[in-house]
Amino acid sequence: MLTPSYITNFDTRQLPRHECEYVIIGSGIAGLYTAYAASQSGSRVILLTKQAADNSNTDKAQGGIAAAISTSDSPELHLEDTLLAGAGLCDREAVRILVSEGPDRVRDLIGMGAHFDYKDGELALTREGAHSRRRILHASGDATGAEIQRALTDRVRRDKNIQILEDHLAVDLLVKENVCHGVLALDRRSNDLKVFWGKAVILATGGLGQLYEYSTNPEVATGDGIAIAYRAGAEVMDMEFIQFHPTVLSLSGAPRFLISEAVRGEGAYLRNRYGDRFMTRYHALAELAPRDIVVRAILTEMGITASERVFLDLSHLTPDLISERFPTIMKTCAAYGLDITRDPIPVAPAAHYMMGGVKTNLNGETSIHGLYACGETACLGVHGANRLASNSLLDGLVFGWRIVQWVKKYGVDYCPGRCYFNCDRLLSQPSEVNYQSIRKEIQVLMGQYAGPVRTSQGLIKALEKLESYGYIARYEVSGPEEIEVRNMLEVGHLVAEAALVRTESRGGHYRMDAPQPVERWLKHVIIRR
């Protein structure tokens, strides 16, 4: 039986209604930059974000933003590296657009006041895994995301065409005859439902890292955009491809804090508990091998050495380099008693980035008219089966921009507000469901069975367990925690289903029972209700 399209009872005629040309959901780089681009073209924008505007994955990004701007680099080299990392599943045209339009978008960010680091009068560029050139711009050493978030949030807050509504959580999309007219949202402060009609509704809600117990993502990353699009009937693609980051602080009592790949880019070594520098045994690029390879090598070493962690050793780098390039990591580790110029950093892998998402074309259009997606929420094949490090911030800029250019030229006026939507008393009043414990159970389950190493048996177990929560679909949700858990269940299913279907290993999807890539599987898994 299909679960209902809506998760709460409502009637749009009885709710406060707002209307705008663009309704954008999400306030990371993709949402903010798209709002800015729309406003530049004279349009009015409402931007909904479920907590504070700066509570996003973007804000946490450390390594940087990749762009072929150096004279020793070129978009062609960036394209080749991206295709190689994507393990055969990248859409070549999408990548061509990313690498060729990317430098202009980055210059735009600089023009808006984002301060990147400079060396000898030139933008300082670092390297990360699987990049053949130094092409990663960074800010305040390892606080690139925070600087981009600051610059964009400041800019958007000052813009008269843009209204940012914080504490507004999208509940469901309002779609009729495959046209999206708007979004139903919950104002968390008043607990009221509100309707936002828009000619273009843009999903930029980020990823789903919170599906896993160990994640680099903030609490807000619960896959909301993907879940609501799927419930509304949109196609989702590549949901099996989740990137785990190899090096996240693993210290009891400390949060799972990201230790940027740029640390390895600047020369740090990975060692097991016996001090053995093991990556040279696994890949010619050693510590800078593609992330999935480093993750599996770490898990193997953790198994062999019966340890819950491995160690990142920076002791051969100069203290000056470390403090200049990684001030945030240094400070955070120091708070837990680690002097990273001397002490090895205990690390383990954690969920980091979703390559899949709401299927879009090169202009951000989804399979529903009037509904667009960009950033981590979207999937247009630009990252293939495995994203190249530091391509994600760039993706948010380039494809957010393209949505606005498209809507300006071809956006259709669907007369939002002329129709009404309801879900009248179809759902029962909430009963005693312990959403907090379900959230925790989902996270453990996904880590155990749909993490970096999967088997068909494990995935079936995961699906059976997720299915056992099916009963809650009968109840209407009445608060943000419940909405997030419902969304996590939705996207958890999609990840496990797609991972079960793909009987091979490729990029971020590794099946122990089918460990090789298979030619026949050079295709995408697309799911629709």
Please say which residue, 241 or 353, places its beta carbon nearer to ligand SIN.
353
Which one, 323 or 448, has the nearer CB to ligand SIN? 323
CB-CB contact of 405 with 35 (8 Å): no
- Cβ nearer to ligand SIN, comparing 294 with 472: 294
Binding letters toward ligand SIN, positions 44-83, x by CB under 6 A: ------------------xx--------------------
Q: Is 261 a binder of ligand SIN (CB under 6 A)?
A: yes
Catalytic, 291? Answer: yes
Q: How far apart are CA 9 and CA 250, in angstroms?
A: 43
* Minimum separation from the CB atom of position 474 to ligand SIN (A): 39
Candidate residues 260, 443, 487, 505; the one interacting with ligand SIN per rule CB under 6 A: 260
Q: Could you tell me where the beta strands, DSSP code E, fall in 250-398?
A: 269-271, 310-313, 345-354, 357-359, 371-373, 378-379
What is the closest distance, in whole angstroms, from the C-beta atom of residue 454 to ligand SIN in the complex? Answer: 21
> Which of the stretches 162-170, 258-266, 491-499, 506-514 binds ligand SIN when contact is defined by CB under 6 A?
258-266
Distance CA 223, CA 511 (A): 23
Q: Which is nearer to ligand SIN, 94 or 262 (CB)?
A: 262
Catalytic residue (choose from 291, 439, 454, 502):
291
Looking at 40-48, 163-171, 269-277, 385-393, which segment touches ligand SIN (CB under 6 A)? 385-393
Closest Cα partner for 295 from 316, 278, 273? 278
Nearer to ligand SIN, 49 or 247 (CB): 247
Instruction: Return the closest-CA partner of residue 202 out of 417, 386, 36, 12.
Output: 36
Can you read off the two tokens belonging to residue 217?
């993502």
Residue 356: CB minimum distance to ligand SIN, A:
16
By CB under 6 A, is residue 389 in contact with ligand SIN? Answer: yes
Can you tell me the distance from the alpha carbon of 112 to that of 518, in angstroms, rounded to the nearest whole number?
A: 45
Binds ligand SIN (CB under 6 A): choice among 392, 443, 487, 505:
392
Q: Which stretch binds ligand SIN (CB under 6 A): 108-116, 230-238, 257-265, 492-500?
A: 257-265
> Who contacts 179 (Cβ-Cβ below 8 Å, separation ≥6)?
368, 369, 370, 414
Rounded (10°) angle between helices 435-449 and 456-468: 170
Full DSSP string of 32-86? HHHHHHHHHTT--EEEE-SS-TT-SHHHH--S-EE---STT--HHHHHHHHHHHT
390 binds ligand SIN (CB under 6 A): yes
Q: 468 with 235: CB under 8 angstroms?
A: no
Residues that bind ligand SIN (CB under 6 A): 62-63, 260-262, 352-353, 389-390, 392
Active-site annotation, residues = 291
